[in-house]
Amino acid sequence: MGRRPKVAEPPMVSSRQMRPALTPEADEGQMVSLAMDLVRQRIMNGTATSQETTHFLKLATGKERLELEMMRKQIELMDARIKSYEAQDRMEELLERALSAFKRYSGNDEEEFYED
């Protein structure tokens, strides 16, 4: 007996009810979730396209995981640089204030001396 060819089944509609999204970001998240559910169903019943299958196979590779980790580390590095620049700006501001205070305390504050 030969194998019967798989017949493409219509995609199942998600039975879970979703309340309307309140923000564009939430709406996008719902759409992604529905798309993932649909692709999961298609993979399980054998009707997924080669592009859908390849996408998830790529996610499973070590190279993809390393690339994602590298991107995360680059984001962390950029965040650290931003914090460093902000701290440097704050330090410069504090030093300027301290120098100004030292000048006032030592009596060398040029702003206080006006000659008539």
pLDDT digits (tens, 9 = 90+) for 64-81: 889 889 999 999 999 999
Q: How confident is the prediction for the chain on average, in pLDDT?
A: 83
Model confidence, pTM: 0.44
Classify residue 43: in a domain, yes or no: yes
53 and 70 share a domain?
Answer: no
Classify residue 37: in a domain, yes or no: yes
Contact 99, 93 (CB under 8 A): no
C-alpha Rg value of the chain to the nearest Å: 31
Contact 48, 39 (CB under 8 A): yes
State residue 105's pLDDT score.
87
Contact 47, 6 (CB under 8 A): yes
Classify residue 67: in a domain, yes or no: yes
- pLDDT-derived band of residue 1, with 50, 70 and 90 as boundaries? very low
66 and 104 share a domain?
Answer: yes
Share of the chain above pLDDT 90, in %: 42
49 and 71 share a domain?
Answer: no
State residue 44's pLDDT score.
93
Q: What are the DSSP E strand ranges found in 12-91? A: none
**Number of domains composing the chain:** 2
**8 or 53, which is more confident:** 53
Of 3, 4, 7, the C-alpha closest to 46 is: 7
Our measurement of the distance from residue 58's CA atom to the centroid of its chain's CA atoms, rounded to an integer in Å, reads 20
103 and 88 share a domain?
Answer: yes
74 and 103 share a domain?
Answer: yes
Kindly state the average pLDDT of the residues 26-47: 91
Residue 72: give the domain boundaries. 62-108
